[in-house]
Every structure is written in structure tokens, then in C-alpha cells.
Structure 1
Amino acid sequence: MTDLATIACDQFYPYPTHAVWRALTEPELFARWWVPGDIRPIVGHRFTLDMGSWGAQPCEVTKVEPERLLVFTFAEGDLNSTLSWRLEPEGSGTRLFLEHSGLDRGTPLGRQAYAGMGAGWPKVLATIEGVLAG
């Protein structure tokens, strides 16, 4: 039985949108707050993320609106989910909205991912500020 779910969370950063965009789209910065991978803000760009014990996860960029929206598939063949990163200016900073969608809670892997990532994403998003400050 398919039971698709979405994890949604957001984080405010006291930094301009272009700085947060760089943290999402430059591989060197991206690796400092999450995991290594050759991410690029180019629709159709295929890359892998090194998820450690979860292995190399294939991804593909599906939508880009510079300094506003980055969407890519995540863990194709395993989770078959999508990560959507949306940036909105807020005062003198930026609010980042993350949606991790397509997690199938009807499968053991999907349930495990939903529980783990549901608790983990807010912590991951909090680490971006250290990269921005550094």
C-alpha cells in the first residue's frame, strides 16, 4: 500500500538570500553543512550525494529559479523522493523552506526515512548557519 508523505520545515538565517543560495548550490559549502556531492543549479544535472552508511544516493535537478528555488530528486531507486528548497527574503535575512516529499510510509524503508528525516531535517537546517557565519 502506498502512503506518500511530506516533511516540511523552515529555518530563518540572518544572511542575504544570495549567501543562503550559495550554501545550497556550491558543492564545497553544501558538503560543510550536509554531505558531499557535486550539486549544481542546472536543470537536468545528475549527481550523487555521499550519505555514508546509506551509500551514494543518485539525484537529478528538476527545477531552478536562481536565489529562489532549487528542486531535485533524491535517492532514486530507493526512496524516490524529492527535495524542494525555497528561499524568501525576510527583513534583513532569509527564510529557507524545505519540503522532502514522496516518502512512502507504506514501505519499511519509507517509514524509517520519514521518522529519521522528520527528526533530522531541523537539525541539518540549523547547521547551515555555521557555514554562513564561517
Structure 2
Amino acid sequence: MNNAVLKSDTQDIVVDEVFPHTPETIWKTLTDNELISRWIMVPEGFAPLKGKHFTFQTTPAGAWDGMIRCQVLEVVPNERLVYSWVSGDEGNVGYGSRLETIVTWSLSKVGGGTRIRMVHSGFVMPKNDTAFQNMSEGWKKVVPQIGVIAGDQE
């Protein structure tokens, strides 16, 4: 069997922004449950601790209950937060199809603020095409909200 057949085509969503806030303020916005609920969804059970499982609830579809199951994979306070993002159901096509991805938040201090880089990686194409398209647009709206909410904290 040739290697091209075995290799999946994956896509990543990348959003890069610079906000006029300290890394500590951005970190708090990324890791405080009340603040998270203001820029994305209400997290259940989240804590910035490696190995911690948590969930988000969104609109169900077909065989999928709308639950996004996550696990914190890496935590470097004020610098890096990584978690898995698993949702959907194998029986669904389009919205709600099985999704097994990783969300990585990287923060770096820049003149007068913080650069935030969000990479949502591992969308398997074409199976995750609908999720990739929807979430590409969604993350472009969500990430700037982090800066707005961070500004409310200072």
C-alpha cells in the first residue's frame, strides 16, 4: 500500500492577534470559568491543570448530543494552554460529524501588549469540512472578544 493512501489530509485554523494587555490579563481571560463563558461557551469542570477533563455544550445534531469533551494537555501559566477538543458522532455527516482536534493557545509579550496565537489543529478533510468552515469563521469572531473581555479586567 502506498503512503499517500495512509496519510490523512488535515487542516488547522490559526488566528493571530495582538492585544494591549499583559500576558497575565490575557491568561486570566483564557482560564477563568466566568470569563471563558463570556467569549466562547460555559465550561463545565474546567481548571488550568494538566489532565483535567471538562466539557462545553453546544447545539446537538443527529446522533451527537452537542457535548464537546476536552482534556487539558499542557499548561505553562501566562504562556501556553493546550487542550483536546473531541465532539460529534461517527454516524453524522456535515455538522456534528466526529471531530478529534487540539486547541493550542500561545501567549508572548510584545511591545505594549501580548500576542495571542490560537491554533485549532487536526481537522481531517473532507470528513471535518463543515466543522472546519464553521469554526474558521467562529474563531475569527471569538478570539477578538478575548481582547475586549481582557480590557474589562484592567
Settle same-fold status: TM greater than 0.5. Answer: yes
Counterpart in the other structure of 1:61:
72
Counterpart in the other structure of 2:39:
33
CA contact (8 A) 2:46 2:54 kept: yes
**Aligned partner letter, 2:56:** L
Residue pairs, 1:30-109, within 5 angstroms: 30-37=36-43, 38-53=45-60, 55-76=66-87, 78-107=98-127
Superposed displacement of residue 56, structure 1: 1.8
Does residue 1:132 correspond to 2:138, yes or no?
Answer: no
- Give the gaps of 5 or more residues in structure 1: none
Runs of 4 or more, structure 1, over 4 Å off, are: none
Give a deviation string over 1:43-72, Cα, whole Å, max 9, x none.
Answer: 000000122446221000001111100000
Between the two proteins, the alignment pairs up a number of residues equal to 132
Counterpart in the other structure of 2:15:
9
**Aligned partner letter, 1:42:** L
TM-score scaled to structure 2, two decimals? 0.80
Does residue 1:24 correspond to 2:30, yes or no?
Answer: yes
Choose between structure 1 and 2: higher helix proportion: 1
CA distance in 2, matches of 1:71, 1:28: 19
Cα 1:40–1:94 change in 2 (3 A) is same
- Give the gaps of 5 or more residues in structure 2: 89-97
- Computed over aligned residues only, the root mean square deviation of the Cα atoms, in angstroms, reads 1.6
For the pair shown, the structure with the greater C-alpha radius of gyration is 2
Counterpart in the other structure of 2:130:
112
Does residue 1:123 correspond to 2:141, yes or no?
Answer: yes
- Partner-residue secondary structure (3-state), 1:127: helix
Aligned-pair identity (%): 30
